[in-house]
Structure formats: structure tokens, C-alpha cells
Amino acid sequence: MVSDPSGHGFETRAIHAGQEPDPRTGAVIVPIYQTSTYAQDRVGETREGGYEYSRTANPTRTALEQALAALEGGRHALAFASGMAASDAVLRTALRPGDHLLLGNDAYGGTFRLIDKVLTGWGVSYSVVPLSDPDEVRAAVRPQTKLIWCESPTNPLLGIADISALADVAHEVGARLVVDNTFATPYLQTPLASGADIVVHSTTKYLGGHSDVVGGAVVTDSDEIADSLFFLRNSAGAVPGAFDAWLTLRGLKTLAVRMERHCDNAEFIAQALTEHPKVSRVYYPGLPDDPGHALAAKQMRRFGGMVSFTHADGERAALDMAARTRLFVLAESLGGVESLIEHPGRMTHASVAGSMLAVPAELVRLSVGIEDPRDLLADLRAALEGQGR
């Protein structure tokens, strides 16, 4: 799906790219094409758009893909049934038995599980490296290395990797750089412009933005990568339904304004937490003394809506605190308009327990929503001080 070459700004592309009024009826909003198949005029002769069958392509999904491509500044976007389906397609098209990949030591737990438990069974090997140190990454590269898999900011420790430096390391050995851009979103950074070959998203998070849909996407400039992904997706079938594509497209329209407010609120909460006696460390790249701050300031428009912190009184206190908030809902996932709180060690990152990716036991992760930030801070303070639910 070729992106919008309009040269329009981000907010305009989010609302218009791939989203022309319906030529037949004038419907301003892209319809939900809830159909599995399409009439052909003669055998093999399809109508406008070339639609045949909705596993292969669906007009609502096409609109979403055009919008995603335009926002990431890539020539091709493919929507998938989930972020993991998108990641799986990237891994299975890029890697063959004997190949090797490098993965950050703070990767999304589900990505680690897919690589560690599924891909290795097919003869693919991996190494875990701190991606914030390009020299360590260069030292870990092998002749068989075909992919470097990067997240920035990382989940849940909000580490920052230098995307253009990693792209250089990958390209020196003929490998490809994949960036999971779920935390930053294309509003805050566009990895393809920094040299990444492939961008992966869980659209379940900020792109959908309302915690009402699961989805994923891959964006790339390469015709060859897009063709192989398209072939695999059509063969294996991990496509989103029309309604899910429509919900995601609806979410995308407000991405820019939501991200601004997520960033405002997260900056406010992160700063306030640094001053709280029950908080031993705050992880947020927007804090001036955060180890990733300088790089994040260079690479990102702002610092995002995710904040993690360690509880000064240890794991039990972290677990109790996470169960005491009233506005912050205790739940997995992130990136919706409502604030969420979770304990990575027992929840989102339980699948990496005991591995090199294990997270501090006293860590609490916040997805800071777009509510009134004073209410959010009061809720966290009450929970830290032993009041609440």
C-alpha cells in the first residue's frame, strides 16, 4: 500500500491519508466493509481495487494501511490481527534455520517468548544484548545475524536505543533492523527515517488508543520485504477483521492530540514521583537525569506516556500499592485514554521470569492516561501512602 505523497503534516495525514470520502455515496468516514468476498464481473475480472477475498485484502483494512504507511513515512503497511501476529510475520519472513538474531535485554515479554519458545524450535538462535550500547551490539553480531530487534523506549524500563547507530551496525553485516515502535508511536519518532528497515506495531496500544481493539501492523519501504510479508499473511491468514481495522483507523485520527496529553501527564507524574519518599527510582526518559534523556531528546519529539518506578519498600509493597489505586486500573496493556497500573514481574513480564530479561521485583509500570493529571497524582499518592481501595 503506497503512502500518501501529499507532504501534509502529521495531524492532517492521520485524518485524511487513505480516508477519502466514499466515491459512491459520499460517506465521509471509510465504511466497515463487513464482507468476506467480492463479486467478479467475469471469471478473474475483479472490480475497482481488485478485491477478491478478505483474507487477501479488504477496503477498510486498505484504508488503515494507507494511513499507517503515511504516518510512519513508509511505502508499505500491512495490518495484522495482533502485534504478535505482526512480529511473527516479520520473524518468519526474515529468518531461516541457522540464522541468528539480536534482541534487546528489555524486550516485550511476548516477543521474547515467541523467539525463545517457537523460533528456536525451527533452528533459529538469538543473543540478548543491551541495545543502549551500540559497541556491545557490534561485538555480539555474528556472520549468521540477519535481524536486530529493537524497542525504544523499552518495556518496562523505558531504556532508549540509538536507532540510527543500530541501523548502521545491522547494515554493516547485511542484517536488517526492526524497530517495535509501539511505545513511541509515529507521532514521537519515525524509525524508517533513522535507517530502520522494518517498523512493527501493536496497534492495540496508542494507535487504537481506547483499549477496545487488538491489532498489529508492519511498515517498510522495501518492496521485497512487503511482498514476502504479504505472501505470508495471505498464506497464514493473521488478518484483522473489518470492524477492528475501522476502530483502529478511528483511533488514529486523534493520535497526535492524545499523545500530547499523554506526554504532558506522564512528565508531570514522573517528576512528582521523583519527590515521593516511597519511590526509590523513576524510569522516564523525559527526566533530565534519566540515562536515556539526551538520546531521547535527540531522537523523539517528546518522551511518551509510559512511566515505571520502583517501590522503596520492596516487592510486597509494590504489589499492594498497585492494587490500591482507584483511577489507575490494575490491568495489563497500555496506551489507552484511561490510566493503567501493573506489576511487570507478575503480570506483563511473567514470561521472562528467571531469564536475562527479568525485571526488578519492586517495579511498578504506569500507562499514564489523558485524565486530569491532578486526579491521577492524588490517586498514586493515596495508594503509595497506604490509602485506597
Ligand X SMILES: *Cc1c(COP(=O)(O)O)cnc(C)c1O
Give catalytic residue positions.
55, 108, 180, 205
Using rule CB under 6 A, residue 108 touches ligand X = yes
Residue, CB closest to ligand X = 83
Which residue in 214, 217, 318, 357 binds ligand X (CB under 6 A)?
Answer: 214
Cβ nearer to ligand X, comparing 196 with 279? 196
Task: Give the span between the Cα atoms of 286 and 293, in whole angstroms.
Answer: 6
Cβ nearer to ligand X, comparing 151 with 221? 151
Which residue in 59, 110, 153, 208 binds ligand X (CB under 6 A)?
Answer: 110
Using rule CB under 6 A, residue 368 touches ligand X = no
Which residue in 54, 66, 145, 155 binds ligand X (CB under 6 A)?
Answer: 155
Which residue in 72, 99, 162, 180 binds ligand X (CB under 6 A)?
Answer: 180
Which residue in 151, 162, 342, 379 binds ligand X (CB under 6 A)?
Answer: 151
- How many chain residues interact with ligand X (CB under 6 A)? 16
Cβ nearer to ligand X, comparing 183 with 283? 183
Contacts for 339-344 with beta carbons within 8 Å, 24 or more apart? 339/366, 339/367, 339/368, 339/369, 339/371, 339/376, 339/379, 340/366, 340/367, 340/369, 341/365, 341/366, 341/367, 343/318, 343/319, 344/156, 344/308
Cβ nearer to ligand X, comparing 335 with 360? 335
Question: At closest approach, how far in Å is the CB of 82 from ligand X?
Answer: 3
Mapped onto helix, strand or coil, the DSSP state of residue 259 is helix
Residue whose C-alpha is closest to residue 352's, from 159, 82, 108: 108
Task: Give the span between the Cα atoms of 91 and 218, in whole angstroms.
Answer: 11
Which residue in 54, 189, 204, 310 binds ligand X (CB under 6 A)?
Answer: 204
Q: 3-state SS string over 30-41?
A: CCCCCCCECCCC
Site string for ligand X, 111-150 (x = CB under 6 A): x---------------------------------------
CA distances 113 to 38, 103, 143, 260, 352, Å, are 38, 12, 24, 32, 7
CA angle 156, 340, 323 (to 5 degrees): 95
Using rule CB under 6 A, residue 82 touches ligand X = yes
Task: Give the span between the Cα atoms of 349 and 28, in whole angstroms.
Answer: 42
* Stretch near ligand X under the rule CB under 6 A, chosen from 198-206, 225-233, 320-328, 360-368: 198-206
* Stretch near ligand X under the rule CB under 6 A, chosen from 82-90, 96-104, 271-279, 291-299: 82-90
* Stretch near ligand X under the rule CB under 6 A, chosen from 2-10, 161-169, 197-205, 321-329: 197-205
DSSP lists the bridge partners of residue 178 as: 149, 198
Burial readout 295-311 (b: 16 or more C-beta within 10 A, e: otherwise) = bbeebbbbbbbbbbbbb
Cβ nearer to ligand X, comparing 216 with 345? 216
Q: Which residues, numbered 280-299, are part of the site for ligand X (CB under 6 A)?
A: none
Task: Give the span between the Cα atoms of 7 and 157, in whole angstroms.
Answer: 35
Neighbours of 387 (CB within 10 A): 11
Using rule CB under 6 A, residue 365 touches ligand X = no
Task: Give the span between the Cα atoms of 389 and 383, in whole angstroms.
Answer: 8
| Max CA distance (Å), the chain | 73
Question: At closest approach, how far in Å is the CB of 38 from ligand X?
Answer: 28
Which residue in 18, 73, 74, 83 binds ligand X (CB under 6 A)?
Answer: 83
Using rule CB under 6 A, residue 182 touches ligand X = yes
Question: At closest approach, how far in Å is the CB of 198 from ligand X?
Answer: 13
Using rule CB under 6 A, residue 66 touches ligand X = no
- What are 262's three cell numbers? 499523554
Using rule CB under 6 A, residue 84 touches ligand X = yes
Distance of CA 92 to the CA centre of its chain: 19
Mapped onto helix, strand or coil, the DSSP state of residue 363 is strand
Distance of CA 158 to the CA centre of its chain: 13
Question: At closest approach, how far in Å is the CB of 339 from ligand X?
Answer: 16
Residues that bind ligand X in the complex, under the rule CB under 6 A: 82-84, 108, 110-111, 151, 155, 180, 182-183, 202, 204-205, 214, 216
